[in-house]
Amino acid sequence: MDMKSRMSVVAVALAMSSMAQAVDTLDEVVVTAPQSTEPLTVKTDPKKPRQPVPAHDGADYLKTIPGFSVIRKGGTDGDPVFRGMAGSRLNILLDGEQILGGCGMRMDPPTAYIFPASYDRITLLKGPQTVLYGPGNSAGAVLFERVIDRAAQVGTKVQGSLMLGSFGRNDEMLDAKTGAENYYLRAGATRTHSNDYEDGSGNAVHSKYTRWSTNAALGWTPDDNTRLELTAARSDGEAAYADRSMDGTKFARENVGLKLDKQHMGGVLDRVEAQVYYNYVDHVMDNYSLRTQPGMKMVSNPDRETVGGRSVFGLAISEATQAKIGVDYQSNKHTLRSTMNQATTPYELMARTEDANFRNYGVFGEATYDVNDSGRVIGGLRIDSWHAEDKRAAMLMARDANNVTYNVANPTSGQSRDKLLNSGFVRLERDLAATPATVYAGIGHTERFPDYWELISANKESLTTTSAFNTNPEKTTQLDAGLHYSEGAVSGSISAFYSKVKDFILIQSGVVKTAPTTRTITVTRNVDATTYGAEAGMAWQLAESWKVDGSLAYVHGDNDTDGTALGQIPPLEARLGLNYDDKVWSFGGLLRGVAAQKRVAVKQGNIAGQDIGASSGFSVFSVNGGWRANKAVQVSAGVDNVFNKTYAEHISRSGAMVSGYTQTTRVNEMGRSVWLKANIDF
């Protein structure tokens, strides 16, 4: 669809307004950030339209929350970064289930398998201030959740959406529910497609993608307090990448899960939650399907199988004390097969070779004690038992920075590791009497076992040996404090943190080793680090139909061991929005400003990327409008990057040399784009 056609579609949609009456409130377009309404917690509805329009994956939806950034690699499947922390420092859960990618170069982070429009709620829990949602959450935990309400499950309801946009973008979503008092059935499907986008200078970026997903749930609800649910999901897709020599041609996921929830039991044991799940991802990357490749056709096919379970028991100890205790388990196995010449040695005929497996048992407890009507204490403890095995061969073929292959001995082949890790936190919250505000402060400690990408993938080494398998666990101690305020037309929040990290796991590329031969490699290092920063948000209802809101996010990172900046720290970012909403029509604008980042650690960072160099600041302006025709139909439209700015995020990956495309220092963001979205409820 060309620009003229898209603008015609928008004009037709708006002209239809005279033919219908609006009887419901227009869902606001999320243009600055979802508001934080309780300490260290942010919730947002992924079905709402938002600006800038995100790619159809989990990471791009998270970037609307202050403190989040995304490492861009192409049009989709970016890596989410919160407060400068990436990878397994940020735990991602899908309805309580953990999913882990397979690609050794992070082509498929966990959010690549998430289709946000198929969920009802996204919740961010900041910092190590909970122990309920798995181990190692030093940056936080993100919960993608579907909501089931027994009172509303009777009957049939269908929700759908369609979005059209620049560069061939089109998204479709369908979510259907039917049920009676004692059962429900829910099924959904999503699909999204985009061609290569152009940056503000008109340069095409190798970024096209197509993604689809299906999911279903069958539930039994014999009473208001009992739910047994069986779930299943499948998804797949392909995506072109502008930061590397290969593209993703398969992102297949299979899932099945079973959950039990029994609540309001009336005794000290007031609630029981239990679930088991199975996740399998099968990923294929090659250098010829989505780009011109005159040489040999190379393919890599990793997969990962994750099995897990969780049981949580809710305790009503007294009127003032509530607690949750539980156990969780997760095991995963990673295998790989690859070929240097698909024409002569097809990868499909090759056996998969296991290179690593991990297992973890966790025991946890968290309690809330109401000191009085205005104050409470929340705390928790967690113990995790980790086990990891290096299943790689004793002799490995590796590739250096100049794309030269060589053989290297693996001294940890066949070795295993076991580690007992401890986590805990305590937080005080108080509702102020003289001011409509809540203040809080908490301290948390978490110990994180190194993940697959830090220990195994891409033959990473340490500074002393040719294996990174013995990298130390990361230990984070963090102070969190903040305030929530709401009175009349004004509301706002601020959350600040200060963190000391012992044995921070740093990924450093471009390291020269001279033995057994001179080569340039990537290593995993333990260093000590300090980070601190804050996020703030504000909303002011200027008049009945006018509102201004804004957000601010800042993080500072130091590598204390080297006496340098910590790599991959995003710069100061501010957002300011002005919106009009008369319950029928709405329109608004968003100004996003990002400062320059001069504090860098070139070739140092995390498993998703390393610093390239200093970056310039930029500002981007976008506008949107919306109209609700009736209770069931909402239409919204927008123009992102109105002034066609050419820019790139500081933490994004460097641009690769792709035949037919202009190579850039970083992968540039999208230039001016127009979009139109319709939400329909039946």
pLDDT digits (tens, 9 = 90+) for 320-339: 999 999 999 999 999 999 99
Does 14 score more than 60 pLDDT? no
pLDDT digits (tens, 9 = 90+) for 479-518: 999 999 999 999 999 999 999 999 999 999 999 887 767 8
Q: Measure the CA–CA gap between 439 and 376, rounded to whole angstroms.
A: 11
Residue at 352 is within a domain: no
Q: Measure the CA–CA gap between 497 and 501, rounded to whole angstroms.
A: 13
**251 is written with which tokens?**
């992102």
Does 204 score more than 80 pLDDT? yes
Of residues 191 and 11, the one with the higher pLDDT is 191
Does 102 score more than 70 pLDDT? yes
Residues 6+ apart with CB under 8 A from 481: 439, 440, 441, 442, 495, 496, 497
- The percentage of residues in the chain with a pLDDT greater than 70, rounded to a whole number, is 94
Q: Which of 34-48, 226-240, 603-617 has the lowest mean pLDDT?
A: 34-48
pLDDT digits (tens, 9 = 90+) for 541-569: 999 999 999 999 999 999 999 999 999 99
Residue at 558 is within a domain: yes
Does 648 score more than 60 pLDDT? yes
Q: Measure the CA–CA gap between 297 and 307, rounded to whole angstroms.
A: 34
Identify the band that residue 34 occupies on the pLDDT scale cut at 50, 70 and 90. Answer: confident
Instruction: For residue 5, count CB atoms less than 10 angstroms from its CB and return exposed for 0-12, middle for 13-18, buried for 19 or more.
Output: exposed
Contact 239, 77 (CB under 8 A): yes
User: What sign for the dihedral angle of Cα 366, 371, 373, 376?
Assistant: negative
pLDDT digits (tens, 9 = 90+) for 393-433: 998 877 766 667 778 889 999 999 999 999 999 999 999 99
Identify the band that residue 12 occupies on the pLDDT scale cut at 50, 70 and 90. Answer: very low
Identify the band that residue 17 occupies on the pLDDT scale cut at 50, 70 and 90. Answer: very low
Q: Measure the CA–CA gap between 95 and 617, rounded to whole angstroms.
A: 37
pTM tops 0.85, yes or no? yes
Average pLDDT for residues 134-150, to the nearest whole number? 92
Identify the band that residue 11 occupies on the pLDDT scale cut at 50, 70 and 90. Answer: very low
Q: 597 vs 112, 454, 567, 671, CA distance in Å?
A: 27, 26, 11, 22
Instruction: For residue 401, count CB atoms less than 10 angstroms from its CB and return exposed for 0-12, middle for 13-18, buried for 19 or more.
Output: middle
Burial 115-153 (b: 16+ CB within 10 A, else e): bbbbbeebebbbbbbbbbbbbbbbbbbbbbbbebebeeb
Tally of structural domains, the chain: 1
Average pLDDT for residues 71-83, to the nearest whole number? 95
Does 610 score more than 80 pLDDT? yes
Residue at 568 is within a domain: yes
Q: Which domain holds residue 567?
A: 3-347+357-681
Average pLDDT for residues 303-332, to the nearest whole number? 97
Identify the band that residue 293 occupies on the pLDDT scale cut at 50, 70 and 90. Answer: confident
Residue 406: predicted pLDDT:
75
Distance of CA 298 to the CA centre of its chain: 29
Contact 180, 222 (CB under 8 A): no
Residue at 68 is within a domain: yes
Instruction: For residue 392, count CB atoms less than 10 angstroms from its CB and return exposed for 0-12, middle for 13-18, buried for 19 or more.
Output: buried
The mean predicted confidence, pLDDT, of the chain is 92
Q: Measure the CA–CA gap between 440 and 485, rounded to whole angstroms.
A: 12
Does 238 score more than 90 pLDDT? yes
Helix (H) or strand (E) holding 238: strand 226-239
CATH number at residue 228: 2.40.170.20
pLDDT digits (tens, 9 = 90+) for 515-531: 767 888 899 999 999 99
DSSP 626: E
Average pLDDT for residues 124-132, to the nearest whole number? 96
Identify the band that residue 31 occupies on the pLDDT scale cut at 50, 70 and 90. Answer: low
pLDDT digits (tens, 9 = 90+) for 441-487: 999 999 999 999 999 987 788 888 889 999 999 999 999 999 999 99
Residue 396: predicted pLDDT:
85
User: What sign for the dihedral angle of Cα 68, 624, 670, 112?
Assistant: positive
Residues 6+ apart with CB under 8 A from 454: 87, 460, 468, 471, 505, 507, 524, 607
Contact 49, 588 (CB under 8 A): no
Residue 551: predicted pLDDT:
95
pLDDT digits (tens, 9 = 90+) for 567-604: 999 999 999 999 999 989 999 999 999 999 999 999 99
Does 49 score more than 60 pLDDT? yes
Residue 15: predicted pLDDT:
35
**46 is written with which tokens?**
């992924």
Residue at 321 is within a domain: yes
